[in-house]
Structure 1
Amino acid sequence: FKNLSKSFCVLVDSFEELEHDYINYLSKFVIVRPVGPLFKTPKATGARDIRGDFMKSDDCMEWLNSRAPASVVYISFGSLVYLPQQQITEIAYGLLNSHVSFLWVFKPPSKEFDVQPHVLPDGFLEGTREKGKMVEWSSQEEVLAHPSVACFLTHCGWNSSMEALTLGVPMLTFPAWGDQVTNAKFLVDVFGVGIKLGYGQSENKVVSRDEVKKRLLEATVGPKAEELKQNAFKWKKAAEAAVAAGGSSVRNLDAFMGNIKTRGA
């Protein structure tokens, strides 16, 4: 933040239609130009091409192809968030008791963390064999773009939040720390695409299996799920318009390039 006074503008991965008032306010101090969503690809297939053969997500996609439209809860907490074992147990039982279909990215802990690998409850895999799939990695953008995905249980990192918003996927918010908590608040209360499930780690609370079940069902069936879906679709169309020819993010990028040329002259 100390260096902002040295900048003539700041490029951000967002789009004007999403955060218009906040962008205008911040631009009183330094010009803010939203140029996102930056990762948007025509069919959400670019991620696979970049990562190479050793991380293919074909297995995930084949499984998703076998599921009904808007029936799967996609679960991923990113690369750095590592939930307590007790919370993992409650999420697992919530999934088991809700009978929803799910794709869960269940990663082993990073070697940087001195923690034990998570353990699933006895009987969980057998009890969810027909409904769920566990993987260590997935091509997230590709998964979120799949028509079988109904909602995204997420830690609310900004990249994940933007991917879901851009692809029109409602969210169950489970932030841990930092900007994730603020992002979750906006997803639920401002953008209208989320249901609060988890708390920030500073609150030191464990969400019960009953609450997990309740929120999973709320996000996938019934009037609330339909409301979230409609709001998510609205933001998807707005994001697509922002990066289309003449869209707000395209104009902002053009303006930035114009500034560069002028300052370099």
Structure 2
Amino acid sequence: MVDFAYVIAGSEATGGAGLQADLKTFQELGVYGVGTITCIVSFDPKNNWGHRFVPMDPQVITDQIEAATAAHDLDVVKIGMLGTPATIDAVAEALGRQQWRHVVLDPVLICKGQEPGAALDTDTALREKILPRASVVTPNLFEATVLSGLAQITTEDELIEAAKRIHALGPASVVVKGGVDLPGDDAVDVLYDGTEVSVFRAPKIGQERVSGAGCTLAAAITAELAKGADIDDAVLFAKEFVTAGIEGRVAANTPFDSVWQGAYVEQFAADELA
């Protein structure tokens, strides 16, 4: 029997993040990926690789979701970049039309290229209309700071406090990602499910952000949940998967490297042959 995972997110033209990273992750982890595009982000190589952001028409998003959910019995979805209040309205309305076993929200709060007022409107809409529907939300350090209202997050204890505050906004579980920006030698993530706190750590691999790491972590959690894993096991595996992807990162003609979703399987195969 084939397990399905659905993603509603933006397209990122270099292939390093967004829907492209999500679908590659699903494929590597043995689930059938289905995707709906909410917007198109194409970095501008003539302008220091800045963002060019084009939202999809909300009706086109609604049409895509209608087709995907009619074609397949989808009950596990990852929500990535939405980008505008109109997009959030369309996605929230669609989510409300059926029951979902899991909704994994990777809350992209700020899209570079948006005016500050538009970005604030988007943040507010996401917080009010999508966040409470999430069974799992996976903010990075910046997003966790904004959502939690903390002045800063610089310690593991503050990561945990942020997770608890975000949990109070409605999601069933919160995974706060410390990443390379949290001081210390380890990349630390914390999971809070309303009762228990779990801490996941791995040695940092360099000090620079790698494109697609957050997308890949959330997508790996989504894939594992689709296959029936519980949240603790899904996060533990996703941490291992994305760590391998960062270590096996792909260089390009960009000022940043990208996660390689195939690195975990390659590493596993090499270990089996050793």
TM-score scaled by length of structure 2: 0.35
TM-score scaled by length of structure 1: 0.36
Whichever structure has more helix as a proportion of its residues is: 1
Radius of gyration: which is bigger? Answer: 1
Task: Identify the structure with bigger relative contact order (alpha carbons < 8 Å, sequence gap 6+).
Answer: 1
